[in-house]
Structure 1
């Protein structure tokens, strides 16, 4: 059965739009809940809602445990170090490997200054059921972009659904919050969010507002941010 973006989908459904774009030699990225079969058809592997963001197709489904998928951007916690790798907790069933050379400008003699317990914003480079996930901290051009170590700030856990919601182009929350106060944010699709602002009270208020957004409809985000602005005035 063929399905379209916005439909509720089931395993085995075919995503014709993604398949057609690929045949036109346009770049298509398959995210969570989708795979390409031996006939080059894009097949749903998980129940949920079919979504699209730019050239990325994915299935939005409620899940507690993160399942790594190639090109996912995640927040990891450095668990241990070996001769050539950092081993990183990305909230899945096993540790992911992050090679020392997977950082911009890194060489065998010039290794990144990363320690156990540090937070890393990184991308899933490889995800295979038979191997541990592999991470990188550079984009396709070898540049770090917004990837790398997350210093200071506050990291908190949340549902994977909330991360997908605030990253959805229909959600105005992050844009509206930026009008009220300057802040930095890194949202990991593995159910972790890092934020940093001018002081800890503002950072905690930002965290609470973002968590509240999980059960707030898109059209009520303005009301949520108005309450944030009112509370912000009280603590500054």
Structure 2
């Protein structure tokens, strides 16, 4: 069935709007969409979304991550086999990570990565027919914020919540940073890493993120103010 942006979609539906955008320039297909010859088909149920200029995806509630090229993910090193690390990213199979996929890494200068380390990485290969592969550098060979995440706290959430807090229209991050300092890394695979000045503040940030999934922007602002006042009361 033909669908448009904002419609509730089901697997097998197609969008002529996306096809028309592709005729005018490059388009980016996110989760829930797949191109077959000339048509773009929906592969999972949800709501068809668009972000300017030409990024399209299906917004749905799910916890199982399906790798998509170019997305940032948070993984845990579960095995080291020769020159390859096996990393759990929450998908149906572990991703591979070469020791050369770090900034300034060489055969003599190997990165210090151990089993159990938490990594912030980018999906390099994501295909239904191939093993997923991740890297800890950008297209210029720089690590940026990618790499081993030291200390901090990691928790899981729905993929929908990750997309919500990363949306520029969501006021959660802005509201929280106005109340107390913290660091955050959000993986599109439904994992979030946070680190604040104390364990109490770290837990408060995590609880605020989990509680915001079904709240409006006004309710999020009010919640952050309430949490900040409670923390101030404990400190005093």
The alignment's TM-score, normalised by the length of structure 2, stands at 0.92
Tell me the equivalent position of 1:231: 230
Q: Indicate yes or no: 2:101 matched with 1:102.
A: yes
Tell me the equivalent position of 1:179: 178
Q: Which whole-Å CA distance do the structure 2 matches of 1:137 and 1:59 have between them? A: 27
Q: Is the 8 A contact 2:179 2:225 kept in 1?
A: no
1:179 Cα deviation after fit:
0.9
Tell me the equivalent position of 2:69: 70
Q: Which whole-Å CA distance do the structure 1 matches of 2:18 and 2:141 have between them? A: 27
Q: Which whole-Å CA distance do the structure 2 matches of 1:235 and 1:193 have between them? A: 25
Q: Which whole-Å CA distance do the structure 1 matches of 2:167 and 2:178 have between them? A: 18
1:61 Cα deviation after fit:
1.0
Q: Indicate yes or no: 2:50 matched with 1:52.
A: yes
Tell me the equivalent position of 1:20: 20
Written as runs of structure 1 = structure 2, the 5 A alignment for 1:1-236 is 1-26=1-26, 28-39=27-38, 41-54=39-52, 55-236=54-235
3-state SS in 1 of match to 2:85:
strand
Q: Which whole-Å CA distance do the structure 2 matches of 1:109 and 1:23 have between them? A: 48
1:218 Cα deviation after fit:
3.4
Q: Which whole-Å CA distance do the structure 1 matches of 2:144 and 2:18 have between them? A: 27
Q: Is the 8 A contact 2:170 2:217 kept in 1?
A: yes
Moved more, 189-198 or 160-169: 160-169
Q: Which whole-Å CA distance do the structure 1 matches of 2:166 and 2:158 have between them? A: 13
3-state SS in 1 of match to 2:207:
helix
1:3 Cα deviation after fit:
2.8
Deviations along 1:169-213, one digit per CA (max 9) or x if unpaired, are 321101111111111101111111000111111111111111111
Q: Which whole-Å CA distance do the structure 2 matches of 1:207 and 1:130 have between them? A: 36
| Aligned-residue RMSD, C-alpha | 1.7
1:138 Cα deviation after fit:
1.6
Q: Which whole-Å CA distance do the structure 2 matches of 1:184 and 1:4 have between them? A: 37
1:85 Cα deviation after fit:
1.0
1:79 Cα deviation after fit:
0.5
Q: Which whole-Å CA distance do the structure 2 matches of 1:194 and 1:84 have between them? A: 26
Deviations along 1:56-110, one digit per CA (max 9) or x if unpaired, are 3211111121121212211000001112211000111211101111112212222
Structure 2 spans left out of the alignment, 5+ residues: none
3-state SS in 1 of match to 2:176:
helix
Deviations along 1:25-61, one digit per CA (max 9) or x if unpaired, are 33x221110111112x322111101123444321111
1:153 Cα deviation after fit:
0.9
